[in-house]
Structure formats: C-alpha cells, structure tokens
C-alpha cells in the first residue's frame, strides 16, 4: 500500500515590491517558517527534514540556504536544496512528497525563497539561462520567452488582444481580495490595454512585478497528518516534465509538454474530466495570457476554447472552476516562493482558510508551476481533501 | 511499490587528460554509457535527478542544459544542489515512493571556475564575505582545530595526502595520477596555514552517471546490483558551527541515521571500503572518529598503523603496524585530491565505491560520504550512503 503525503500547514509573509522591502532574507525566512510551524502546532524540533527552493543566480549569492538558520540546521536535520528554475517550488514540494511517500521522513518543511531581493537586473541573469551560442546574444529575457507563446496563440486562434487584457484584469481583481498579494489595484481590462507595450503582445499590466515575500509549507505522512491537522490536504498525484534546452526545437504552440504532464498526473489521480472534477486551480501565469494556454493544456477546455471559458466567467470569482483566486503570479512574483505559493494557495482554499479569496467548499484542487529557459520545466499537482 | 533500491549501473566520462566537451555533452556521454551498461534505453527510465550548482556551470538554471542530456526529455526531472549524493537520495526517494522504477542520477563539470571566488560568494554578505573567507581558508580552520586538539600534526596531513595520491596512481579515472609522495607534499608551498598546495583538491572536469532501480527492476536487469541499505543527510548551522569545527554534528547525524538504516553496529568490522569527500587532506583525519573508525584523538595513530589504501599497505610511513585484522580501504580512488568535480563529485564517489566492491570479492559493504564543503565550511550539509552486495 502506497504511503500518503499531505500538506498540513502554510506560513506566508505579506508580499511587497523588492524595492520597498525592508525585511532581510533571514527575517523573511524566519517569519514564514515560524508562521507555518505555529499554524501546525509544531516546533522546529518536530521537523525531520527541510527542502529549500530557489534559483542561485537570482539570489546574488551561492546556495543562500547555507547562511540562513531557519530550516533546522541548529538541530542538524537534513537540508535539501532544489533548483529547477521557476518550477523549483513545485520540484521542492515533489521532493518532500517523495521523501514522505518513501517512508524516509514523517514531517518535512518546504521553503520558497524570495528570489529576486538582491538582484540588480533580473533579465540579465535570466539571459544566462538561454543557450549560449545562438540565443543568449539576442538578449532574450523572461518577457520575450512569454511573447513567443502568446503571439503564436493569437495567430493560431485569431485571438484579440482584449482577451489577454481581460484575463490580466481577472487576476488583478482577484489580487485586490487577497490581503497577501503585492499588486492589489484591481486594474480593469481598459487600464491594462492602456498600459505600455513591453514586448508585443505583452503589456506592462500583463507582466508580473518583482515582489518580495516568503512562504513555508509543512507536509506530513498520513498518520502524522491526521494527528496534527483537521483538514489535511492530500497530494493525490504530482509529477514534473522537462522539454529540450534549445529553443529552436520548440513550436511555441501552446504548452504541449504541460498537456502530456497533465494526462500523466490525471491518470495517477484517477481524474477523467478535469473541468468537472477540479474545483479550484492555481496556474503559473507570470504573463497574464499564459493562463489561457494553460486552461487548454490542463484540459479545462479544448484547444482554442480558452477565450470562451474566460468570457463565460467560468474561471472568475463565483465561477464553476475559479482559477488564480490569489491574483496569480501576474500580481505577485516573488521568484521561487511564487511557485510554492501556487500549492499553498490551493491548500488554503481546500482547508477553507483562504482569507478574503475563499472559494465555496472546494475539495479537489490543481497547482501548477513553470520555469527554465523558455518554460522548459512544468510541475503539476492534484491536491484533495 | 519497491521496498529496496539498487544501483545497477555507473559510468564515468572525462576527468583524466584534457576534457574538451561541454557539460551537456559530458553528461550525455556518461548517461548513455550507463544506460547501455544496464542494457536499457532512455525510454525505459522514469525520472532523472541532476546534481549541479549554478555557479559551477557559470549560468543560471544550469539543469536546463543537463537535464535533457541526462535523458530527462519529457520525463520527471529535478536538480539538487548538494554534492551529488543528495541527488542520489532524490532518485532513491522517487523509486521508494513508487513514482519511478528506473531513475538516472547524473552530473557534469565542464566550466573553468575560480573555486575560491565561488566559495566566497556563498558566505554571508554582511559579516563574513568581506573578510575574503573561502573554501581553502575554512578547511584550514578545520585543520587548525586538528592541530590545536592534538589530533594530528602537519606531518600527518602530508601523510594522508600522500596515501591518497598513491591510490590515485592506479585509478584510471583519476584527474591527478602523479603519485606525489610525503616528501613532495610536505615541501609544496604553504597556501593557507596549515594547508600546503598538494593538500588541497584540484578543480576537475568530467561527468558521472548512475542508474537506480526498484527491487524488481534491479533483479531483472542486473546480475549483481548493489543495494542502497542506508542513506541519510544532516546539516550544520552557519553561525553555530564556528564554535567547534570538529564537532561536525550534521555529519554525525547523517552517519548515525545511515548506519542505523543499514544495521551497521561496528564499522570497523562491518565496512570494507569508504569513499570520503576531503577536498583538503586533513579532513579525512577529521572524519575517522565520526565514522566510527577510531576514538577521538586517535586519527593519527589509525593513519599510521591501521589504514590500508586500495588493498595495499601504505608505504608512505615508516611504521606500518597493523592494528586491525581485516582490510579496510579508505579512498581507494585517491579521493578528492586526485579528482574533485564540483557538480558530480558525490556521484563519482558512489561509482568509485561500486567499482571497488565489484573488483574485490571479499568486500561486501561500502560507505560513501559526501558534502557541499567544496563551497566551504559553516552551514555545510552532509550525506552518507551505505552500499551492499547482497540482500540483508
């Protein structure tokens, strides 16, 4: 009989701009870990192992986890450092799940670092992730990577620019209800469309900000989860997928690798009709339009029908399948903590603790993370009550 | 769901001579060789765990380059930044959890870097980095503790280095095969007292790959798989570890947990080979006591009287008295002084232990010890793995 792992607690700081941040990296780590421990009724001595997730290059240091004292190093517990780019949060949670399902540990702490706090120019760092001979010299940064996918999608599906503005506004309005979110202005689609074009077709208000804040989660084995938590959120299935490194082999026609991953994860979770069976989702959208491509990749609708899902408010507040009720990555992108938060937000929704942004009685949720050069990596998790 | 995990294949690429491939080419070559040796193709594997540190690759998200090269295209792939053994733990957990039946663990080192600069960048920016502290200086602090506590002398440091260099001469994969003698080491230039240049590991280039399998798959695919019967980690605090560098509580935690898992009661009687990560020669002496090879304070005596290397008596010292009635090899590969790839070191050490166990009929059980101290002491993490020939 396969062992089970559950999320039993979430600890989060409020998010702000990197430029306005006054808390140190150590203070943020301490605050998030303390919050997660306190919410679980645990002390650091109860943790068997910690998983730290971040991307070194952006942290302006090497292996920053080593200098932070927040993860139980004083008690000499194992500390595992996971870095798979933007998807590192998902990869770290998957690592914790495997350690618990394997019976190696009972209680594992996962920490999502505020990756961007120390960096001067994110795009310059991200550019080093591009293939060095042919692509890096073009100066490719994150927004260009997003634009490849979104311009192709517009062309393939005759999508008007307004749809990207609508989905951006849906996220901005949701973030206004989330007390933890960074951008809480609730911009309308008109305001989004009036914002400057950054890299066609992506406008400023369709781009994520660089945020600061941290998140910690505690995962536990079945026995410990039932002892410690009234509403444990079970990780019913979780996996990741890798694409090629070189961009030339990619078609940018939707998130084709996420589609393969979703089929694999749904099969493991026994989900046959994701649109009907999933109640709430957090999909990784550093550029607002990504959400539409993700609806199709994770099977919420058929190819080319994402626009209709949006227009029918299926994924909005009060909809049949609310997506990114946190305001998504487009309103709060604190680096790797943003990919841990996708899971934390779904867990809070299922626990009924999503203050200000709670969806009515969800029992099955989907959490997604994305990262690497041109979105090379995805992780996907089905979480259930 | 598997109850046990075996390692069914390993392959090493590069290290000796001039390595001209990029890290993805190195990893691809090693992984393809390991898969061929296991008699399987890329399609058979379920998961890939890459070991690397972005700074050692000179780019960010460097697993983007190496994960597909390791067979990860359209597979479940992750990257752990530890030393190599932490990536083996990831694949081990993936298999035991039922998520994978066959997993590749790989890493590659191709970029020329200044290890002292990268190490310094891992220290706290406000209090320590400005002092210029780095991996060599922090290892020198450990060596100084060994001297202060009367555990070893500068001569012992040179002796243990010479022991490793001698073993490295016959390791076909070793980067340094020069066989430096005690005299060479003790007369090499002082770098950071009390460490001499020949007591400090080089920066090596190459790749290492392993194939891990569930119990069922391992029995199907390999005549003699090596079973992972213990594997565990531990960490030290950043600030707290200044107090007593020889305490190595994180290492003790990893050793204790791994020994318990494998049922190792008396390491002197139970273990045949150790592959230890000592990027500065004196560290090997600091590990003997936590590993259970001697009492605290007796590392020097053990080195001079009891340790054998690669199955031969050590000839670097005139005494050569045997205290144990059985042969225990410590770093028969020549250790980190003869080969020190920053990304794949722990995988290389696991492969070295496997090679020793394969070649020596009498040897049944090996210990692989790994850490991220290539980045320096303070806040370091450790991992320990026990490999065994047959089911317990």
Question: Across the interface, which of A72, A102, A373 has its CB nearest the CB of B96?
Answer: A102
Query: In terms of domains, do A330 and A284 share one?
Result: yes
Max mean pLDDT range (A302-316, B243-257, B282-296)? A302-316
In this structure, the answer to whether residues A316 and A267 fall within a common structural domain is: yes
Give the distance from residue A361's alpha carbon to the nearest chain B alpha carbon, in angstroms: 30
- Residue B28 belongs to domain with CATH number: 3.40.47.10
Query: Between chains, do B61 and A104 touch, taking CB under 8 Å as contact?
Result: no
Q: Do A61 and B93 touch (CB under 8 A)?
A: no
Q: For chains A and B, what is the number of CB pairs under 8 angstroms?
A: 205
Both A328 and A373 in one domain: the answer is yes
Residues A99 and A43 in one domain: yes
The C-alpha of B79 sits at a distance from chain A's nearest C-alpha, in angstroms, of 6
**Of A83, A130, A145, which to mutate for an interface test with B (greatest number of B Cβ within 10 Å)?**
A83
Of all residues in chain B, the one with the smallest CA distance to A57 is B60
Q: Which of B28, B61, B72 to mutate to test the interface with A (most CBs of A within 10 A)?
A: B61
Give contacts of B127 with chain A, Cβ < 8 Å: none
The answer to whether the beta carbons of residues B383 and B91 sit under 8 Å apart is no
pTM recorded for the entire structure: 0.96
Q: How confident is the model at residue A221 (pLDDT cuts 50, 70, 90)?
A: very high
Query: Domain residues for A115?
Result: 5-121+211-233
* CB-based contact B372 A66, cutoff 8 Å: yes
Are the beta carbons of B379 and A242 separated by less than 8 Å?
no
**Which member of B67, B90, B375 has the closest CB to residue A62?**
B375
Task: Let me know if residue B166 belongs to a domain.
Answer: no
- Split into its structural domains, chain A has a count of 2
Please say if the pLDDT value at position A120 is more than 90: no
Other CB atoms within 10 A of residue B3 CB: 9
Contacts of A101 in chain B (CB under 8 A): 93, 96-99
Q: What is the pLDDT of residue B373?
A: 95
Put simply, the answer to whether B64 touches A129 (Cβ < 8 Å) is yes
Is it the case that residue B310 has pLDDT exceeding 90? no
- B391 interfaces chain A, CB cutoff of 8 Å: no
Q: Is A102 close to B238, i.e. CB distance below 8 A?
A: no
Give me the long-range contacts of B191-197 (CB less than 8 A, separation at least 24): B191/B136, B192/B136, B192/B137, B192/B140, B193/B140, B193/B144, B194/B140, B194/B143, B194/B144, B194/B147, B194/B154, B194/B157, B194/B282, B195/B136, B195/B139, B195/B140, B195/B143, B195/B157, B195/B280, B195/B281, B195/B282, B196/B157, B196/B158
DSSP string, B18-65: ---S-HHHHHHHHHHHHHHHHT--GGG--EEEEE--HHHHTSSSTHHH
- Same structural domain for residues A240 and A227? no
Residue scoring higher pLDDT (B143 or A60)? B143
Question: pLDDT of A135-181, one tens digit each?
Answer: 888 888 889 889 999 999 999 999 999 999 999 999 999 999 999 99
Q: State which residue of chain B sits closest to A122, comparing Cα positions.
A: B60
- Comparison of pLDDT for B1 and B198, the residue scoring more: B198
Provide the shortest C-alpha distance from residue B379 to chain A (in Å): 5
Q: Which of B54, B77, B118 sits opposite A83 (nearest CB)?
A: B54
* List of residues 6+ apart from B372 with CB closer than 8 A: A63, A66, B53, B81, B82, B83, B380, B381
Q: Is the pLDDT of residue B315 over 80?
A: no
B72 touches chain A (CB under 8 A): yes
Q: What is the pLDDT of residues A238-271, one digit of tens each?
A: 999 999 988 777 788 999 999 999 999 999 999 9
Is residue B337, in this structure, part of any structural domain at all?
no
CATH code of residue A293: 3.40.47.10
**A85 with A132, same domain?**
no
Query: Is B247 within a domain?
Result: no
Kindly tell me if the per-residue pLDDT of B324 is higher than 80.
Answer: no
- Partner A contacted by B375 (CB < 8 A): yes
Name which of B24, B59, B383 is nearest A129 (Cβ-Cβ): B59
**Per-residue confidence (pLDDT) for residue B320, from 0 to 100:** 30
> Minimum mean pLDDT among B39-48, B122-131, B226-235, B322-331: which range?
B322-331
Instruction: Give A373's contacts in chain B (Cβ within 8 Å).
Output: 61, 64
Report cis status (omega within 30 of 0) of the bond before A201.
yes
Contact list in B for residue A134 (CB cut-off 8 A) is: none
Q: Is residue B150 part of a domain?
A: no
Mean pLDDT over A203-222 rounds to 97
Q: Decide if pLDDT at B184 tops 80.
A: yes
Residues A62 and A190 placed together within one structural domain of the fold: no
Q: Check B121 against A81: CB less than 8 A apart.
A: no
**Cβ–Cβ contact B232 with A under 8 A:** yes
Contacts of B59 in chain A (CB under 8 A): 57, 128-129, 132
Q: How confident is the model at residue B322 (pLDDT cuts 50, 70, 90)?
A: very low
Contacts of B93 in chain A (CB under 8 A): 95, 98-99, 101-102, 104
**Is residue B168 situated within a structural domain?**
no
Residue A133's pLDDT band (cuts 50, 70, 90):
confident
Contact A80 B86 (CB under 8 A): yes
Does residue A304 share a domain with residue A276? Answer: yes
Say if residues A242 and B77 touch (Cβ distance below 8 Å). yes
Whether residues A246 and A160 fall in one domain? yes
What are the chain B neighbours of A66 within 8 Å (beta carbons)?
A: 122, 238, 372, 375, 378-381
* Tokens encoding A366: 């989907």
The tens digit of pLDDT for each residue in A51-105 reads 999 998 888 889 999 999 899 999 999 999 999 999 999 999 999 999 999 999 9
**B80 to chain A: nearest residue by CA?**
A82
**ipTM of this model?**
0.96
Q: Chain A neighbours among B 335-374 (CB < 8 Å)?
A: 372
Burial B294-320 (b: 16+ CB within 10 A, else e): beeebbbbbbbbbbbbbbeebebbeee
pLDDT at B388: 97
Put simply, the answer to whether B60 touches A79 (Cβ < 8 Å) is no
- pLDDT at position A14 over 60: yes
Q: What percentage of chain B has pLDDT greater than the value 70?
A: 93
- pLDDT score recorded for residue A1: 57
Q: Would B93 be classed as within a structural domain?
A: yes
User: Average pLDDT over chain A, rounded to whole?
Assistant: 95
What is the SS3 assignment for B241?
helix
* Structural domain includes residue B101: yes
Give the DSSP letter of residue A138. G
Determine the structural domain holding residue B55 and report its residue range. 5-113+205-210
pLDDT for the residue A174: 98
Domain count, chain B: 1
Mean of pLDDT values over B112-138: 93
How sure is the predictor about B1, in pLDDT bands with cuts at 50, 70 and 90? low
B61 falls within a domain:
yes
* Residues of chain A contacting B24 with CB distance shorter than 8 Å: 245
The average confidence (pLDDT) of chain B is 91
R_g of chain A, CA atoms, integer Å: 19
CA distances from A51 to A79, A96, A353 (A): 6, 7, 24
């Amino acid at each position: 009989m396969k062992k089970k792992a559950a999320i039993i607690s979430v600890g989060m700081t409020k998010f702000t701009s990197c430029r306005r941040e006054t808390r140190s990296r150590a203070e943020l780590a301490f605050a998030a870990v303390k919050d997660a421990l306190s919410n679980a009724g645990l002390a650091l001595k109860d943790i068997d192992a910690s998983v730290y997730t971040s991307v070194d290059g952006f942290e302006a240091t090497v292996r920053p986890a080593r200098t932070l004292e927040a993860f139980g190093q004083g008690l000499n517990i194992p500390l595992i450092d996971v870095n798979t780019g933007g998807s590192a949060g998902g990869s770290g949670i998957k690592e914790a799940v495997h350690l618990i399902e394997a019976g190696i540990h009972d209680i594992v702490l996962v920490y999502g670092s505020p990756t961007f706090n120390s960096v001067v120019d994110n795009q310059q760092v991200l550019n080093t992730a591009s293939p060095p001979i042919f692509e890096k010299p073009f100066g490719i940064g994150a927004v260009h990577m997003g634009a490849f996918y979104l311009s192709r999608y517009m062309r393939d599906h005759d999508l008007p620019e307004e749809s990207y503005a609508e989905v951006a506004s849906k996220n901005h309005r949701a973030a206004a209800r989330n007390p933890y979110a960074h951008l809480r202005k609730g911009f309308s689609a008109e305001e989004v469309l009036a914002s400057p074009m950054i890299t066609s077709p992506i406008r400023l208000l369709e781009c994520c900000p660089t945020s600061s804040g941290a998140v910690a989660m505690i995962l536990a084995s079945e026995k410990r989860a039932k002892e410690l938590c009234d509403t444990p959120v079970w990780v019913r299935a979780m996996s990741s997928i890798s694409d090629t490194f070189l961009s030339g082999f990619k078609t940018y026609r939707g998130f084709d690798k996420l589609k393969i991953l979703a089929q694999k994860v749904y099969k493991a979770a026994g989900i046959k009709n994701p649109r009907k069976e999933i109640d709430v989702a957090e999909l990784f959208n550093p550029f607002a339009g990504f959400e539409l491509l993700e609806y199709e990749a994770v099977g919420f609708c058929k190819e080319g029908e994402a626009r209709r899902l949006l227009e029918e408010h299926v994924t909005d507040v009060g909809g049949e399948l609310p997506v990114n009720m946190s305001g998504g990555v487009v309103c709060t992108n604190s680096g790797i903590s943003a990919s841990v938060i996708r899971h934390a937000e779904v867990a809070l929704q299922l626990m009924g603790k999503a203050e200000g942004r709670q969806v009515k009685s969800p029992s099955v949720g989907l959490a997604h993370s994305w990262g690497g050069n041109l979105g090379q990596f995805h992780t996907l998790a089905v979480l259930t009550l | 769901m598997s109850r046990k995990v075996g390692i069914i294949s390993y392959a090493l690429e590069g290290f000796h001579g001039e390595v001209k491939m990029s890290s993805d080419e190195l990893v691809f070559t090693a992984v393809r060789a390991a898969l061929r040796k296991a008699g399987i193709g890329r399609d058979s594997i379920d998961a890939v765990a890459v070991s690397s540190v972005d700074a050692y690759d000179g780019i960010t998200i460097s697993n983007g380059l190496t994960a597909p090269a390791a067979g990860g295209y359209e597979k479940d792939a992750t990257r752990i930044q530890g030393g190599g053994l932490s990536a083996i733990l990831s694949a081990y957990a993936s298999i035991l959890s039922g998520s994978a039946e066959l997993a590749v663990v790989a890493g590659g080192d191709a970029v020329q870097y200044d290890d002292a600069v990268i190490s310094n960048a891992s220290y706290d920016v406000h209090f320590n980095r400005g002092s210029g502290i780095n991996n060599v200086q922090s290892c020198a602090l450990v060596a100084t503790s060994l001297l202060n506590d009367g555990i070893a002398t500068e001569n012992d440091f040179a002796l243990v280095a010479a022991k490793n260099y001698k073993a490295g001469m016959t390791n076909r994969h070793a980067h340094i095969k020069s066989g430096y003698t005690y005299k060479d080491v003790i007369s090499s230039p002082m770098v950071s007292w009390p460490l001499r240049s020949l007591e400090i590991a080089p920066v090596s280039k190459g790749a290492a790959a392993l194939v891990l399998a569930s119990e069922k798959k391992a029995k199907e695919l390999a005549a003699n798989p090596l079973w992972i019967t213990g594997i565990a980690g531990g960490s030290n605090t950043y600030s707290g570890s200044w107090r007593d560098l020889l305490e190595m509580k994180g290492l003790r935690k990893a050793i204790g947990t791994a020994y318990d898992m494998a049922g190792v009661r008396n390491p002197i009687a139970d273990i045949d080979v150790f592959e230890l990560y000592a990027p500065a020669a004196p560290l090997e002496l600091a590990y003997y006591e936590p590993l259970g090879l001697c009492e605290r304070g007796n590392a020097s005596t053990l080195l001079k009287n009891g340790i054998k290397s690669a199955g031969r008596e050590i000839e670097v010292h005139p005494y050569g008295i045997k205290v144990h009635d059985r042969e225990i090899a410590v770093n028969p590969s020549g250790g980190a002084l003869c080969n020190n790839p920053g990304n794949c070191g722990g995988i290389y050490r696991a492969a070295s232990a496997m090679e020793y166990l394969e070649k020596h009929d009498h040897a049944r059980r090996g210990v692989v010890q790994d850490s991220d101290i290539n980045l320096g002491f303070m806040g370091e993490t450790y991992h320990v793995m026990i490999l065994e020939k047959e089911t317990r």
